[in-house]
Amino acid sequence: MQLTLGRLRANIVAKNVMLAKVISCALVGLEGALVEVEVDISSGLPAFTIVGLPDTAVQEAKERVRAAIRNSGYSFPLKRIVVNLAPADLKKAGPAYDLPIAVGILTSSGQLEADHSRTLFLGELSLDGSLRHTSGILPMVALAQKKGLDDVVVPDSDAREASLIKDVKTLPLASLSHLARYLAGEVGPSEYVPATVESDNAELPPAIDLAHIKGQEHVKRALEVAAAGGHNAIMCGPPGSGKTMLARALSGILPLMTVEEALEVTKIYSVSGLLSRDTPLIRSRPFRAPHHTIFNAGLVGGGHWPRPGEISLSHRGVLFLDELPEFGHSLLEILRQPLEDKVVTISRARGTLTFPANFMLVAAMNPCPCGFFGDLFRQCSCSLGLVARYQKRISGPFMDRVDIFAEVPHIDYEKLASNRLGESSKKVRERVIAARGRQLERFTGTAVTCNAEMMLPEIREFCQTEEDAQALLKRAMEQMHLSARAFHRVLKLARTIADLADSDIIGAEHVAEAIQYRPRRTF
């Protein structure tokens, strides 16, 4: 008799306990990590608990999911609901778990019957059950492809971004009820135009054309060399001489990114929530210009759970620092490691994350606090001691990592009043693209994409110089007291100048131009 009652009690408990498992994804830096959303509904007092190291946004999913299920025409179980996000030691952040939690509850309560063990679910729910945009879709879908999953359910607003990853079926859906009807075979996914490299390959005209910038021809040449090889550059001159305008015109002469570079940059912007829905694939190189009041975490990345900073957002593009000395000595010193290693590593108590930071540093500065030290037209009001302290805000090791230093002088009336246009950004860009093409061909089979990224093995192999060029380099080393790093940077810069001249070997004239870009002032 006791055995019979025990079996009956076990059958009753089994009918009231159902377990559902749904696959979702978490973000660790710029990469995705699979998360298994387990939903258990059992008898007892009504309760809704989420475990598995969720943050505040995930905890708040309880209210969004409850309202979304009811407003979508389904009943929310008035039982004990436990949601486990596994693995439990991985931090879960953001609202992307709303949809998989809702699917798990509907499945566990028997209101939804479908095999979705090979499907990844992503999306934030509105209170009415509609699906909202979710950040980080691109790396999450890339993980689904890597893990061999068949389908990925995403909000219909994120369909084009998700379609950039091939070999995985994208299912854009508008709401929770739309998903339920799709799983029941009643309707299909939303229609959308998949994003392709070709459809997002449109080139926009430059915001500032070099042809409209009067004078400063030698600075334009310096920027052309910087763009052709991905070199760092600093412009120094009095206020109003056109430094900021020249820097912003740099975007108009940079080539489009390759497909691999575009996917790298798009992934960073997707994770940061800065990706435009109209342009799911970024092809133009980023141009970031943070203000000098920015904090360390905003520049290099960081936070309680590290996020990409400005140097990662300018990956494969330009980081422009206007009024360079105003950024502060400690902030500039932080940039030394990313400038050398092309990555930034952020360590926290819970782990270490590495973000890409392969950018061109372009900076503008005044020679002194008043801005007119050495100017031929206006007298400087700063003492020599004040000028020295101002310039020493930029350390020698930092300047050693800069390839090009260009003086931007005052522009006289005749040049400003002239109606004559200079060389257009389009023509300069054609030369830059040709030089970059030679570099891509030269570095085929390596991780290097431009001359500025060369390390010692590539410098020895590809920076062959004529005898006259070697003699000139020797004299420069002796007279300018160049460091080993500066010596190699001169060689890389000369290699870029030779590429612009379509020369296979570095000549004396290429080395001479590279040497003249070294800073003439001691910092």
Q: Report how far apart, in Å, the C-alpha atoms of 425 and of each of 114, 308, 419, 422, 428 are.
A: 57, 31, 17, 9, 5
Q: Are 361 and 478 contained in the same domain?
A: yes
25, 143 Cβ separation under 8 angstroms: yes
Which H/E stretch holds residue 10?
A: helix 2-16
Residue 185 pLDDT? 87
Residue 202 pLDDT? 52
195 within some domain: no
189 within some domain: no
Neighbours of 347 (CB within 10 A): 11
Q: Are 406 and 306 contained in the same domain?
A: yes
Total count of domains within the chain:
2
Q: Are 373 and 252 contained in the same domain?
A: yes
Residue 204 pLDDT? 65
CB-based contacts of 171: which residues, under 8 Å, 6+ apart?
119, 151, 152, 153, 154, 182, 189
396, 404 Cβ separation under 8 angstroms: no
Q: DSSP letters of 78-132? A: -SEEEEEEESTTS-B-SGGGHHHHHHHHHHHTTS-----TTEEE--EEPTTSBEE
The span from the CA of 23 to the CA of 38, in Å, is: 9
- Domain extent for 400: 210-516
Q: Which residues pair with 356 in a beta bridge?
A: 343
| Nearest Cα residue to 158 out of 68, 201, 92, 95 | 95
Q: Are 350 and 450 contained in the same domain?
A: yes
| Nearest Cα residue to 265 out of 164, 154, 120 | 164
Which H/E stretch holds residue 441?
A: helix 425-442
The span from the CA of 460 to the CA of 491, in Å, is: 10
What DSSP state is assigned to residue 356? E
Residue 441 pLDDT? 94
Place of tokens 């870029």: 496
Tokens found for residue 57: 């946004």
Q: Are 172 and 214 contained in the same domain?
A: no
Rg (CA), the chain: 29
| Nearest Cα residue to 292 out of 248, 261, 329, 256 | 329
Per-block mean pLDDT, blocks of 10 residues, the chain (523 long): 39 54 94 95 93 93 96 95 95 93 95 88 97 95 95 94 92 96 90 71 72 90 96 94 93 92 94 87 93 93 86 96 92 92 85 91 95 88 92 90 93 82 92 96 92 94 93 91 91 97 95 90 46
Q: Are 133 and 228 contained in the same domain?
A: no
Q: From 183, 218, 241, give the residue that closes a domain.
A: 183
Q: Are 68 and 104 contained in the same domain?
A: yes
Q: Are 171 and 234 contained in the same domain?
A: no
Q: Are 142 and 217 contained in the same domain?
A: no
Q: Which residues pair with 152 in a beta bridge?
A: 120, 170
Distance of CA 84 to the CA centre of its chain: 32
Residue 470 pLDDT? 93
Q: From 167, 183, 199, give the residue that closes a domain.
A: 183
The span from the CA of 370 to the CA of 387, in Å, is: 9
Q: Which residues pair with 132 in a beta bridge?
A: 124
383 within some domain: yes
284 within some domain: yes
Q: Look at residue 325 and give its three-state secondary structure.
A: helix
Handedness of CA 194, 197, 202, 203 (dihedral sign): positive
Q: Burial level of 417, CB count in 10 A (0-12/13-18/19+)? A: exposed
| pTM score | 0.89
Q: Report how far apart, in Å, the C-alpha atoms of 429 and of each of 205, 413, 496, 500, 502 are.
A: 12, 28, 14, 11, 15
Q: Are 252 and 121 contained in the same domain?
A: no
200 within some domain: no
What DSSP state is assigned to residue 183? H
The span from the CA of 308 to the CA of 135, in Å, is: 13
67 within some domain: yes
CB-based contacts of 320: which residues, under 8 Å, 6+ apart?
247, 248, 287, 288, 289, 362, 363, 364
Q: Report how far apart, in Å, the C-alpha atoms of 344 and of each of 264, 304, 489 are.
A: 15, 16, 21
Q: Report how far apart, in Å, the C-alpha atoms of 501 and of each of 252, 423, 434 are.
A: 21, 17, 10
CB-based contacts of 477: which residues, under 8 Å, 6+ apart?
487
Distance of CA 206 to the CA centre of its chain: 21
Q: Are 270 and 393 contained in the same domain?
A: yes
Q: Which residues pair with 236 in a beta bridge?
A: 365, 407
1 within some domain: no
The span from the CA of 155 to the CA of 132, in Å, is: 6
- What CATH code is carried by the domain that includes residue 66? 3.30.230.10
Q: DSSP letters of 374-405? A: T-SSS---S-HHHHHHHHTTS-HHHHTT-SEE
Q: Are 224 and 174 contained in the same domain?
A: no
Place of tokens 């392709």: 196
198 within some domain: no
